Structure formats: structure tokens, C-alpha cells
């Protein structure tokens, strides 16, 4: 296996999470639908709001990497949901499934041998696929910590 492939495999593992923190997949198993919109005392966001933000940001970065006609959403308005909780269980399931499928697409895009991790994505910036993957990893890790604190505050995780 060449160095590029090894490096891409490592990035993919970090995108899936769990290398240094509990995976989002595990956290999603712990949260109850009725608790999604609860903002614990002194917390500005609910589990749903943060997870929705993680998903939107991941999708935005994936689109940035894969669409030549990419248009940036409005920051911060578009990056955060308007409500503290999903309107229905089906909306929640759709959000979770979208996150997982988009993460899988990003992993596949990174692992694709024809995609160079270090080549600028466009002529206007020095943004590379590596930079964008690291942004998703860092952003997800940051907010995963917040989600874990919410789970603890709600009494759903006691480690």
C-alpha cells in the first residue's frame, strides 16, 4: 500500500470517529427522541441543534469539495436549525440517515485514488481536500464533546 492510500485510510477512520472519542453513532443510540430538544441548564443548544449543525456543516464541506458550482450558505443562519427539536420522528430519522450517508460519501470521495489530497480545490484558494477533511474531523470532534456533555446532563451517559 502506498503512502497516499495509507494516509487516506487514516483520514477516513478519523471521519468515522472513535479514534479519540465516542462516535456519534454511539451517541445517537443513547439519546431518546423526547430528549432531543432539551437544553440542559446553562446550555444554549439542544442535542438536536448541535447534531443538525454537525450534519449541515459536513454536507456543506462535502458539497464544497464535490460541486464546481458550489455556493456558500449564509453564516451563521443557515448552519443552525430554526427549532430546538425535530418536528417528528421521521424528520429525526431522515437527519440521522442523511448524516451517515453523507459521511460515507465523503469517506469514499477521500479514498478515491483519482482525488489528490493536496491539490487546491479551486483556483481562488489554497483549500485542499486534506484541509476540508481535517475541518470536518475537527468540527465534529469539537461538537461531539458538547453532545456527550448533554447526554451526561440528561442522565443518559454516566461515564
For the domain 3-153, what is the CATH superfamily, name and number?
dinb family like domain (1.20.120.450)
Alpha-carbon span 119 to 14, nearest angstrom = 21
Does this model's pTM top 0.85? My answer is yes
pLDDT at 157: 96
pLDDT at 10: 95
pLDDT digits (tens, 9 = 90+) for 45-100: 999 999 999 999 999 999 999 999 999 999 999 999 999 999 999 999 999 999 99
pLDDT digits (tens, 9 = 90+) for 127-152: 999 999 999 999 999 999 999 999 99
| Measured CA distances, 16 to 40, 122, 155 (Å) | 27, 26, 25
Least confident segment among 17-26, 47-56, 150-159: 17-26
pLDDT at 124: 80
Report the 3 state secondary structure along the chain.
Answer: CCHHHHHHHHHHHHHHCCCCCCCHHHHHHHCCHHHCCCCCCCCCCCHHHHHHHHHHHHHHHHHHHHCCCCCCCCCCHHHCCCCCCCCCHHHHHHHHHHHHHHHHHHHHHHHCCCCCCCCECCCCCCCEHHHHHHHHHHHHHHHHHHHHHHHHHCCCCCC
> In sequence order, what are the residues at sequence separation of 6 or more whose Cβ sits closer than 8 angstroms to the Cβ of residue 88?
none
Q: What integer is the mean pLDDT of 11-37?
A: 93
Residue 123 has pLDDT above 90, yes or no: no
Residue 119 has pLDDT above 80, yes or no: yes
pLDDT at 18: 78
Amino acid at each position: 500500500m502506498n503512502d497516499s492510500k495509507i494516509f487516506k485510510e487514516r483520514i477516513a477512520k478519523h471521519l468515522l470517529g472513535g479514534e479519540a472519542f465516542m462516535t456519534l453513532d454511539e451517541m445517537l443510540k443513547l439519546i431518546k427522541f423526547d430528549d432531543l430538544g432539551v437544553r440542559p441548564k446553562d446550555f444554549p443548544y439542544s442535542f438536536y441543534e448541535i447534531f443538525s449543525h454537525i450534519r449541515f456543516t459536513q454536507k456543506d464541506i462535502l458539497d464544497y469539495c464535490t460541486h464546481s458550482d458550489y455556493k456558500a450558505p449564509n453564516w451563521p443562519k443557515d448552519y443552525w436549525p430554526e427549532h430546538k427539536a425535530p418536528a417528528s420522528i421521521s424528520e429525526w430519522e431522515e437527519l440521522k440517515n442523511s448524516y451517515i450517508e453523507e459521511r460515507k460519501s465523503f469517506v469514499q470521495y477521500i479514498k478515491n485514488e483519482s482525488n489528490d489530497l493536496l491539490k487546491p480545490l479551486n483556483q481562488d484558494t489554497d483549500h485542499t481536500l486534506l484541509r476540508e477533511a481535517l475541518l470536518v474531523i475537527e468540527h465534529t470532534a469539537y461538537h461531539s464533546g458538547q453532545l456527550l456533555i448533554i447526554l451526561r446532563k440528561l442522565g443518559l451517559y454516566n461515564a
